[in-house]
Amino acid sequence: MARPRIVITGIGGICALGNDVDAIWSSMKAGRSGIGQLENVDTSALQVKVGAEIKAMPDHGLDRRRLITMDRFSLLAVLAAKQAFAQAGLVIDEGNTRRVGAAVGVGVFGAETADENYDAVLVQKKPRTNIFTVPRIMPGAPAGQVSMELGLRGPVFGVTSACSSSNHAFASALDQLLLGRADVMLAGGTDAPLSFGVLKSWEALRVLSPDVCRPFSADRQGLVIGEGAGMVVLETEDHAKARGATILAELAGVGLSADASDIVAPTVDGPAAAMAACLRDAGLSPEDVDYLNAHGTGTSANDQIETQAIKRVFGDAAGALSISSTKSMHGHALGASGALEMIACVMAIRHSIVPPTIGYREADPACDLDVTPNVAKERPVRAALSNAFAFGGTNAVIALKAV
């Protein structure tokens, strides 16, 4: 018996490229960068002073009593979730509230809250932290805040696996639907890592670019940290059709693997295994895939290794594959990256446009695939893959199909 098809009926997002999906997609198509000088962070003691920052938050309509319990990463998740729900046309009532859930990926924690409380206790010498520090800072907070905002009483949980968190959240939400534990799942990721503590920690790893992110370009210098959130509404095709919902795309499959090798250095085997598993799960051959949103961090080793893994899995079909790293525009938003890249994949399928890898200046013989340099490409996109590979060697790949 064929398993139910899981489809996307709503999508929402916020990042440096825009405060909603239409704005984000417009920027992606045009190859506009959201990377620039940080304005909301004191960079006087930082070496790297750039990031992909949301310069101005939109009106959110939340009252002060809610806001004082929320870190920035929770607020971003709530904003993206409300957009996705609005597009999906879902109404929560007593009849369905326990059949709708949420899985929200987070790569870090409530970094804004951490910085505020270190300053309060260590600099200002206050005797105690903010009373809401624990519920604000915990990685599961965005999932809880989303459930409260939308009235979701089904399976609700946080997912954390560093930069693979969003894709693991999509995989987990898909499983809830296939197991019959929910009829609808909101899934995605959020992170707000543009804080002094997080940026200072990333500086120590020596992988940050001093200016822009140039994935796959021979002169790439590293990644750029960004912030944001993305969420999608997932449900079975039958459930979506029964309520007359517009179906945007199908979440056709997932592939998960672990390197079991090194806490920071990736392998070729792990990412290749995840991509191959994803193709099998989605019932796709390499020739069926038109677009691949690469993990594409802009570091020398990662981009080369990902290229090798793609070649291993796609073989002769790799040459016809359109690839891009949208991190060149929205930065590496850590736990939110996969969710922002989900937006790129869904919109590429719906509009037959592959967003570019911007900042590309010089070909790297070790990254010799079509990375869609600098300018978007028009082509039909029947199926797309999105890669997410994380510290710890945790790999998660998702497949989307046109409907």
Query: Which residues form the catalytic set?
Result: 163, 295, 332
Antiparallel, parallel or unpaired: β 353-354 and 377-378: antiparallel
> Could you tell me the sign of the dihedral formed by the alpha carbons of 113, 210, 354, 107, in that order?
negative
Q: What is the three-class DSSP state of 249?
A: strand
Q: Is 178 helix (H, G, I), strand (E, B) or coil?
A: helix
Burial level of 20, CB count in 10 A (0-12/13-18/19+)?
middle
Contacts of 138-142 with CB under 8 Å at 24 or more apart are 138/109, 138/110, 139/106, 139/108, 139/109, 140/106, 141/70, 141/71, 141/73, 141/74, 141/110, 142/73, 142/74, 142/76, 142/77, 142/78, 142/104, 142/106, 142/190, 142/229
Residue 100's SS3 state is strand
The answer to whether the beta carbons of residues 14 and 55 sit under 8 Å apart is no
